[in-house]
């Protein structure tokens, strides 16, 4: 492949320099002339680009990867092609990886540094595992620390999708970090990533030593073959033989991560995080060149402040981590330049049996200065069995998802952000709430039984009941405005399709049948049409299914990702999110796909819009508050207001009646 320096691809991406080359691709820094920002461009090697099996799997996986929007996962912008070139676009990370950090430290990392690096990684893994994604290649080279001390997980999903591609990719994953079940070719589990992170922890506490090197193998062959033999047959040596000051508690945590049997490891990232919190204790940072913020302390912004001169900025009530990041990356060579050797992160607060109720309401940066307002609510207790009563106001309640208590749970709040109340309290993830038309119930999906199923509860969090029980995943429910049906996405057919079910769990009906991934169904106000996102024609676009004619109409058609649609109460408009401008923004269009209008226009990302009952406002979640927060905006694009303010992920809002 000839050097692309100086060329401009798609009349938009100007290639500045090559910054790395690997077995899969060449990596370049490019200048996005539309966004005025540097990106990383990874150009796939020709043998992969022309491999139809690999490309088909990669395109399908890319649709999922693009949805893994998390502050500690490197953002993936999409897969593009021009002529013979096929390339991915990702955030350009100016910093270094954990492998370099360990090398530069020259010895074991202190407890505070381990905490501030590993906890964000655990948050990223927990989020991905809840979406059904396993990383499969967690290692120091894929843990990035930016020059602003933000911790990011890269290379998401590549190992998992590459195992059936070309011979170059056989044995996907890195042998020194591969769990026994991964080596044997079994389906990866969340515990597969726990095992790999255990080896990363082993290196952090020993100054770069690994438990398996191939030097003790009772077999001959290549280094890879020796490593594989050790992973399958030998117990890990005690890390204390390399670091005699290592506490027995931390050693025990690491060795449990490295159990051969996945069932003997920590069940999930949250369980490992809690064990690490106990083992690491509350030690304070040692002397460093630059003061290190501990989890929860404010960090410098990852991007220049885009606000115009004179704008009154909101004063947020809690410290937040300002990161505009997201996903995948196979560009390890990209991050070996510059940076600091330490990486503060953000810890997840431990789960609490009592919901916390507090809110911060602040007008966010916009094209013109606006006054800042802010209110704080008094605590509103709730529990799993009996939650605080929810009184419906004329402006409606907003249901949303938050991990502020250490797990993804369903919350509700008033339309102005006050009276934030947790409705679910458990050790598994609950997500994507949707109101019944009378405001008395909420449908959502939950991982209560290991896979995702559809559940319904009363608006006060009581009387929870399960609607679906299939062994496949059922997600993204939406209640019809006439109250008769719930639409949802299911994988029970072996593909991702849209189904209907009654609120009592009866009359299950499949309504879409195609080879694509159909998701995020949303009803028309008349309850006779459903708009949804699908990859049935290769790219993620919006479609409308008509229940009267059983026909499907394509609404959008472009090279970007369009998704998470929401129908306006007057039936005339559809709001959706799209990355057609480079960032994820909120758009509005006519129901026929015409008159597309960009509602938000900021350097940061916005997702998952939902209309207010009167159609005058739209609620969505956004990075604009410095973290993923719930935000409202007038449907004409004015007066953006932040409703939540905490150092956690708030997402998937739905505005009730």
Active site residues: 137
Q: For helices 190-206 and 111-130, what crossing angle results, to 10°?
A: 170
Q: Taking Cα atoms as reference points, which of 418, 489, 411 lies closest to residue 457?
A: 411
173 with 227: CB under 8 angstroms? no
SS (H, E, C) 166-187: CHHHCCCCCHHHCCHHHHCCCC
Q: Which 3 state secondary structure label does DSSP give 104?
A: helix
SS (H, E, C) 435-449: ECCCCCEEEEEECCC
153 with 142: CB under 8 angstroms? yes
Whole-number Å distance between alpha carbons of 492 and 452: 11
The residues pairing with 25 across neighbouring beta strands, listed in sequence order, are: 44
In angstroms, how far is CA 167 from the centroid of its own chain?
Answer: 30
Whole-number Å distance between alpha carbons of 177 and 159: 12
Helix or strand (DSSP H, E) at 54 = helix 52-65
Beta strands at 151-153 and 8-9: parallel, antiparallel or unpaired: unpaired
As to burial, measured by CB atoms within 10 angstroms (0-12 exposed, 13-18 middle, 19+ buried), residue 429 is: buried
DSSP string, 567-622: E-TTSSEEEEEE-TTSS-EEEEEETTS-S-EE----SS-EEEEEE-TTSSEEEEEE
Whole-number Å distance between alpha carbons of 651 and 476: 13
644 with 374: CB under 8 angstroms? no
The one-character DSSP state at 160 is H
CB-CB neighbours of 84 under 10 Å: 9
116 with 295: CB under 8 angstroms? yes
Helix or strand (DSSP H, E) at 273 = helix 269-280
466 with 454: CB under 8 angstroms? yes
The one-character DSSP state at 100 is H
Q: Taking Cα atoms as reference points, which of 428, 382, 377, 421 lies closest to residue 400?
A: 421
Whole-number Å distance between alpha carbons of 159 and 143: 15
């Amino acid at each position: 492949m000839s050097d692309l320096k100086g060329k401009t691809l798609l009349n938009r991406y100007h290639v500045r320099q090559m910054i790395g080359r690997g077995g899969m691709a060449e990596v370049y820094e490019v200048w996005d002339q539309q966004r005025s920002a540097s990106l990383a461009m990874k150009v796939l090697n020709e043998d992969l680009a022309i491999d139809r099996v690999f490309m088909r799997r990669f395109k399908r996986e890319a649709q999922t990867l693009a949805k893994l929007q998390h502050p500690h996962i490197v953002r993936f912008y999409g897969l593009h092609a021009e002529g013979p070139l096929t390339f991915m676009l990702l955030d350009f990370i100016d910093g270094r990886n954990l492998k370099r950090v360990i090398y530069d430290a020259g010895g074991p990392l202190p407890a505070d540094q381990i905490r501030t690096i590993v906890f964000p990684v655990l948050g990223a893994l927990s989020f991905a595992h809840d979406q059904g994604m396993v990383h499969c290649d967690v290692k120091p080279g894929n843990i990035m620390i930016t020059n602003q001390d933000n911790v990011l997980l890269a290379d998401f999903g590549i190992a998992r999708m590459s195992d059936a591609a070309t011979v170059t990719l056989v044995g996907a994953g890195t042998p020194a970090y591969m769990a026994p079940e991964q080596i044997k070719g079994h389906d990866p589990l969340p515990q597969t990533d726990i095992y790999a992170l255990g080896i990363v922890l082993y290196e952090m506490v020993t100054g770069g030593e690994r438990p398996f090197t191939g030097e003790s193998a009772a077999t001959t062959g290549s280094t890879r073959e020796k490593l594989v033999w050790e992973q399958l047959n030998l117990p890990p040596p005690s890390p204390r033989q390399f670091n005699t000051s290592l506490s027995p508690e931390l050693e025990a945590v690491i060795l449990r991560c490295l159990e051969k049997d996945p069932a003997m490891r920590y069940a999930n990232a949250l369980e490992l995080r809690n064990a690490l919190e106990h083992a690491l204790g509350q030690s304070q940072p040692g002397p460093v060149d630059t003061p290190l913020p501990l989890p929860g302390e404010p960090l410098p912004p990852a991007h220049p402040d885009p606000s115009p001169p004179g704008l009154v900025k909101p004063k947020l009530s809690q410290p937040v981590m300002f990161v505009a990041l997201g996903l995948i990356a196979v560009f390890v060579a990209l991050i070996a330049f510059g940076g600091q050797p330490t990486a503060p992160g953000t810890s997840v607060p431990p789960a609490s049996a009592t919901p916390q109720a507090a809110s911060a309401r602040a007008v966010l940066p916009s094209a013109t200065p606006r006054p800042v307002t802010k209110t704080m609510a008094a605590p509103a207790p709730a529990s799993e069995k009996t939650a605080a009563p929810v009184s419906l106001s004329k402006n409606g309640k907003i249901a949303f998802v938050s991990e502020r208590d250490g797990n993804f749970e369903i919350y509700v709040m008033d339309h102005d952000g006050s009276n934030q109340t947790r409705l679910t309290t458990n050790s598994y993830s609950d997500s994507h709430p949707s109101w019944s038309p009378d405001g008395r119930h909420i449908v959502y999906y939950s991982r209560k039984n290991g896979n995702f199923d559809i559940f319904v509860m009363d608006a006060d969090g009581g009387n929870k009941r399960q609607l679906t029980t299939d062994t496949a995943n059922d997600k993204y429910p939406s209640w019809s405005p006439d109250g008769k049906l719930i639409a949802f996405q299911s994988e029970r057919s072996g593909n991702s399709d849209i189904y209907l079910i009654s609120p009592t769990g009866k009359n299950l009906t499949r309504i879409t049948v195609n080879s694509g991934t159909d998701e995020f169904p949303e009803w028309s106000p008349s309850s006779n049409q459903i708009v949804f996102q699908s990859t049935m024609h290769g790219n993620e676009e919006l479609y409308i299914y008509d229940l009267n004619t059983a026909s499907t109409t394509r609404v959008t058609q472009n090279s970007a990702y369009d998704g998470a649609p929401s129908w306006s109460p007057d039936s005339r408009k559809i709001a959706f999110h799209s990355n057609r401008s480079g960032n994820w923004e909120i758009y509005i269009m006519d129901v026929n796909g015409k008159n597309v209008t960009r509602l938000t226009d900021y350097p940061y990302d916005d997702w998952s819009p939902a209309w207010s009952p009167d159609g005058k406002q739209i609620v969505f979640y956004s990075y604009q508050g410095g973290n993923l927060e719930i935000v409202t905006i007038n449907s004409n694009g004015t007066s953006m207001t932040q409703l939540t303010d905490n150092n956690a992920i708030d997402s998937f809002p739905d505005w009730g009646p």
